[in-house]
Chain A
Amino acid sequence: MAKDAEKSTWKDFIWNSRTREFCGRTGSSWGLILLFYLVFYIFLAGMFCLTMYVMLQTLDDYKPTWQDRLGTPGMMIRPRGKAMEISYNTTNTETWDMYIKTLDNFLSPYNNSLQAEKNEECTPDQYFVQADSGDVKNNPKRSCQFNRTFLEKCSGLDDHTYGYQAGKPCIIIKLNRVIGMLPGKDGQAPFVTCGAKRYKVGKDEWKEDSDKIGEVEYYPENGTFNLMYYPYYGKKAQVNYSQPLVAIKFLNITLNEDINIECRIISNNIPPGSVRDKFAGKVSFKLRINTKG
């Protein structure tokens, strides 16, 4: 009997036909509540939009207010491969064809003709500073040419397969763009160096593949990023900025094995990233070239 009573009160609560109440309130009461919340949230949303608008007004279009997290720029490779793993079979075109396409796409803006058309030749080995004079913005900012031919054997112009077919692949490395970054002092340009990566194979057991990497060639020479490409002024001010690149070519890497490679930037004024930051000023990837079907 008690259960019945319970049941009926529960039903009554959902819809009480006597008082025409739904969940304990009449329709008009619910309406008022909904109206209240509607007004309330519209007001809040309005306040939110207003503060957002005010906040966006305070922002500079050309330079972020703060760059707290970009002290040590990261690096990236092309082709990215799948999760930083480049592995293919020399005998199977399909396995490396996509890398070629990626590189072709990536390098197409660097074609000499395009560069000559949009960008200008700058004085090498010195920063290309284009300061604003007070409030008068010196925009748009000009950019320096980075010609595809600078990459020589890895430009893809002579060898359309970037050495992939021959088992001597090219990897292109870039340093992340950071507005206003000056990556070297005293005229010394930063450069890339690649080596074996220490990796863990067991508890407190580390291994590196230094003897398996073989000979590596850097283009441009020494793997430097010329200072004339810095500083970067942001994509709005410097629309045609050509990010400098470094290509590395593995000449006789051990085949049919996983090789862990780490490339890092060497510079005299880029702070070494925090120990915990795996990606500050370096990039690591895995390379595996198979020759057998």
Chain B
Amino acid sequence: MSSLCLQDSYDMFEMNGEVDVKMKKKKKIKKKDRLEGMKKEMDIVSVSKSLTLSPLLPLKSPQGLTSSKAAEVLERDGPNELLPPKGTPEYVKFARQLAGGLQCLMWVAAVICFIAFGIEFSRGTLGCFDDLYLAITLITVVVVTGCFGYYQEFKSTNIIASFKNLVPQQALVIRDGQKNQINAMDLVVGDLVEIKGGDRVPADIRIIFAQGCKVDNSSLTGESEPQSKTPECTHENPLETKNIAFFSTTCLEGVATGTVINTGDRTIIGRIASLASGVGNEKTPIAIEIEHFVDIIAGLAIFFGFTFFVVAMFIGYAFLEAMIFFMAIVVAYVPEGLLATVTVCLSLTAKRLARKNCVVKNLEAVETLGSTSVICSDKTGTLTQNRMTVAHLWFDNVIHAADTTEDQSGQSFDQSSETWRSLARVAGLCNRAIFKPNQESLPIPRRIVVGDASETALLKFTELAIGNMMEYRERFKKVVEVPFNSTNKFQLSVHELEDPMDLRYLLVMKGAPERILERCSTILIKGQEMPLDEQWREAFQTAYMDLGSLGERVLGFCHIYLNENEFPRGYKFDSDEMNFTTSGLCFAGLISMIDPPRATVPDAVMKCRHHSLPHCDHPITARAIAANVGIITEGSETVEDIATRKRIPVEQVNRRDARACVISGGQLKDMSSEELDEALRSHPEMVFARTSPQQKLIIVESCQRLGSIVAVTGDGVNDSPALKKADIGIAMGIAGSDAAKNAADMILLDDNFASIVTGVEQGRLIFDNLKKSIAYTLTKNIPELTPYLIYITVSVPLPLGCITILMIELATDIFPSVSLAYEKAESDIMHLKPRNPRKDRLVNESLAAYSYFQIGAIQSFAGFTDYFTAMAQEGWYPLLCVGLRSHWEDVHLQDLQDSYGQEWEWTSRLYQQYTCYTVFFISIEICQIADVLIRKTRRLSIFQQGFFRNKVLVSAIVFQLLLGNLLCYCPGMPNIFNFMPIRGQWWFVPIPYGILIFVYDEIRKLGVRRHPGSK
């Protein structure tokens, strides 16, 4: 039987290998098809019933492989390790930094600049080098921000890399008939390995001998219940059968010997890991938003450029000149500073998140969490503490709640009852789990225990309640023990009593409650043995059902003092024969255990309140956990709940009435994708139970089809495909496997679900604040552009130069726009619904229109007022300026008359022009100060938000002013950056416009607050 099963499963792997080969042949088929193929392949693993022909694996002698044979196989198959998914080459990562939406816009602009430079240079136009400088600056900005972003990602990658487990795994292998400890890497197919409790299974192995071996498959299947492993083949599905233990799972207890059947990437876990690398990455919402925004910018730029091209042609400019105007306008529309602003804002948030233990691998992912509308969370380890803990006790006919908090800060129950003492004694003695030595300094819940999950829970519980259990057990010397097995479903042990005068033996027993109850005739109530009559049985049943419905694992406990005469000291107890009393015992109580939710989780879920989809083990447990942490809210019912309430069959319930829904992996397998979509749409609260890696992937895809932005949390290799597919994958830093971390975009270093809430909060905040920053940055585009338009159409001397624009974009205004990232949230952003990615855009038309055509217009007028003032006060009246351009720029004209009859040579005019640049610059700066103040809030009045709350913003304004002064008054500036020391009075000219901006926006906000929802 066993060999047949071995052959069976081995064949299946072989077959998968063939599928692999086939797929390699069809390399040209689309990625998507390949992915489908992968999924099918995984299905083959789980459903194949074929027993195809394949050479029998030669039965291994207990001698194991010979070293030479092993070396040969190792040569053939390669080392037994998961090859890291082919990481993106560094240069590709860097290139990606240079190829975002904004970056492309700037590349195009740079190319246009080069073309314009080429044309102007060949024509010998003076000042053509401005174009060259602009092109170089554009490229520099892209490259520098690219380097910055790359560096940020590099840093976080390093943090992640440092988490990798560097200690090589060891395996006990039998070769040449000798046991050797070797690196698990060197294992080959056919090797004979031994595993024992606490070991990680070093490869996929077929068990040929096992003794009480239990394996934790949670990293593979997500199930937290230990699976016992035996040599028998119990199922044709390799994932279900008992005789195969999988690579990377942990052996919890017992010992086993087996032959290696698959190594490295050919193991199940390797396949799942490779499934992840086949899943494409989704574009981040912020990237989509920025592309949308670039569309708007490009559209406006071309519209404006074309309009003025036509106007210029109409006025009578030569075609080439009009073409250059067109290019200049298009380029002027490029917000040079925005890229830097966005990058800095994102990395600031990434830093802030890192301080809260969320490491972000991809800068853009910072925002993704904020727009997330669906969180798919894995139960084990994320929502729960991932360890069984005693939750409730039933004795003296009362259910007592135990303290399940991680730090034992909760309330304890009344421990004065005599029954409790007996129950605790049974729980402590009838227990094979032991603490690993030398852990006295650790708090009890953190200590490592050898033993299965429930025994561990009981051990820790009793250790906390009674004290040193190891010593306690010493006092009650164990005489005999019958371990748990699936037929009798109980475990018992017989102990001597601690009182040396009392020569009775004590028999303690625990097990499935109904089996325990069968063997009892009395029950312990307040320390008194009472006959176990119908009334007590009913009480027991109620308590058992109650605890069971909480999704908890319930164990029954009983004991008996063996008759001294019948079993005197030295009586030969036989564990196989069970030559002692095992019925008519005294029932002590029930203890129920659960993997409790983390303390922070319910609160966190409350804050998120999207619908979440945990993948859990048992449907009922899943339901219970979900209810516990608040994923399924009070008052929302599943179809089954409604059915029970209305006392009607499940089929008759209107599915739409149920807010919540629990779907198991089995049901999911039979659902079409449409059905799944429908289910997701109609139930805001969903729980999936027992899902396989592919199913997780399907769930994520289904959510994405419905237009949601999906976050997936997970830790196991089984989660990695879903993590990769999700808009943002969140891996656990401590419990997470490398595969999960590789596939994720974000890593929670403390494994705390509450950190996700921080992430969501920060993501939403950055979205809000980016909106503000972008609005701020966009506004000045208009006052930068209008001078040029007026220059073309009205032919005034150029009011604002190219270098000056760059100084605004890249020097003075960067800090204020970044400082908006430090703005506090206006309202409780966690109460808002997640934004609708189709409607709530980063930059929508009304924001662009408001920035451009209202605030930007005011700023332009401010600039022109100051410009004409500076011109008029130096002798050039506004009307004289009109049409002056060709004379003004004639380098051979040294006696151009101003309004007073004075004559100006060319250089004086040039410096006057620089003066105009500077006053225009100052006007924009003054207005931008007003602008940054109004951008602090979108709805609230600035007086409600507070002027000085954002210290960074205040210092940014001071910095902006200082830098403005430096540019104006530092000697040498006229010839470097075309700034002139200007008259102090000209600083004050734009102030009325600044006040106008401020007042105007306050009025707008008042309107918005009074009439929410209107335009």
Contacts and interface: CB of A to CB of B under 8 A. Distances in A.
A76 B874 contact: no
A41 B902 contact: no
Most buried by A among B868, B904, B911, B915: B904
Given A74-B903, A234-B901, A283 B868 contact: no
B246 interface: no
Nearest to B908: A69
Interface stretch (A58-66, A125-133, A205-213, A250-258): A58-66
Given A44-B857, A84-B892, A179-B902, A69 B912 contact: yes
Most buried by B among A55, A59, A68, A273: A68
A10 interface: no
Contacts of A52: 865, 868, 878
B894 A279 contact: yes
A63 B905 contact: no
B895 interface: yes
A6 to B, nearest CB: 14
Nearest to B873: A65
A37 B846 CA distance: 13
B861 A47 contact: yes
A85 B992 CA distance: 49
Interface in B841-860: 853-854, 857-858
Interface in A21-49: 37, 40-41, 44-45, 47-48
Contacts of B864: 48
A64 B865 contact: no
Contact of A64 (B874, B903, B989, B992): B874
Interface stretch (A92-100, A170-178, A220-228): A170-178
A160 interface: no
A94 to B, nearest CB: 22
Contacts of B854: 40
A45 B892 CA distance: 36
Contact of A176 (B861, B900, B905): B905
Interface in B880-909: 892, 894-895, 897-909
B975 interface: yes
Contacts of A83: 892
B872 interface: yes
A283 B975 CA distance: 22
Contact of B905 (A41, A51, A73): A73
A238 B118 CA distance: 48
Contacts of A47: 861, 992-993, 996
B895 A236 contact: no
A21 B861 CA distance: 33
A176 B902 contact: yes
A237 to B, nearest CB: 9
A97 to B, nearest CB: 21
Contacts of A236: 900-901
B874 A69 contact: yes
Contacts of A174: 895
B908 A74 contact: yes
A45 B865 CA distance: 11
Nearest to B980: A68
A70 interface: yes
Interface string B992-1015: 110010000000000000000000
B858 A178 contact: no
B875 interface: yes
Given A52-B878, A283-B894, A66 B992 contact: no
A47 B862 CA distance: 10
Most buried by A among B869, B875, B909: B875
Nearest to A243: B903
A44 B875 contact: no
B93 interface: no
- Prevailing SS type, chain B contact patch: helix
B868 to A, nearest CB: 6
Interface in B262-279: none
B49 interface: no
A105 interface: no
Contacts of A266: none
Nearest to A65: B873
Nearest to B890: A83
B537 interface: no
Given A44-B861, A74-B894, A174-B895, A65 B874 contact: yes
A176 B907 contact: no
A70 B873 contact: no
Contacts of A178: 902-903
A80 interface: yes
Interface in B516-559: none
B983 interface: yes
Interface string B231-254: 000000000000000000000000
A191 B306 CA distance: 54
Contact of A70 (B865, B908, B992, B993): B908
A56 interface: yes
Interface string B907-929: 11101100100000000000000
A69 B911 contact: yes
A280 interface: yes
A235 B903 contact: no
A277 interface: yes
Contacts of A84: 892
Contacts of B877: 56, 59
A130 to B, nearest CB: 16
A192 interface: no
Contacts of A276: 907, 975
A178 B899 CA distance: 12
A179 B912 contact: no
A144 interface: no
A177 B915 contact: no
Interface string B962-1005: 00000000000001000000010000010011001000000000
Contacts of A280: 905, 907-908
Contact of A179 (B869, B900, B983): B900
Nearest to A181: B902
A64 B873 contact: yes
Nearest to A60: B900
A236 B875 CA distance: 13
A37 B857 CA distance: 11
Contacts of B992: 47, 51
Given A69-B911, A74-B895, A48 B861 contact: yes
A231 B907 CA distance: 23
Given A37-B853, A44-B857, A64-B875, A176 B904 contact: yes
A177 B901 contact: yes
Nearest to A276: B975
A283 to B, nearest CB: 6
A137 interface: no
Given A47-B996, A48-B865, A80-B892, A64 B907 contact: no
Contact of A59 (B872, B906, B907): B872
Given A70-B902, A235-B897, 17 more contacts: A47-B993, A52-B868, A62-B900, A64-B873, A64-B874, A64-B899, A68-B874, A69-B874, A70-B908, A74-B905, A75-B905, A80-B892, A174-B895, A232-B902, A236-B900, A279-B894, A283-B894
6 pairs of A and B residues whose beta carbons are closest in the complex: A74-B905, A235-B901, A176-B903, A64-B875, A65-B873, A279-B905
25 contacts: A41-B857, A44-B857, A47-B996, A48-B865, A59-B872, A63-B900, A64-B898, A65-B872, A68-B983, A69-B904, A69-B915, A73-B905, A76-B905, A80-B892, A174-B895, A176-B903, A176-B904, A179-B901, A179-B902, A232-B901, A234-B901, A235-B897, A236-B900, A273-B907, A274-B907
Interface of B: 853-854, 857-858, 861, 864-865, 868-869, 872-875, 877-878, 892, 894-895, 897-909, 911-912, 915, 975, 983, 989, 992-993, 996
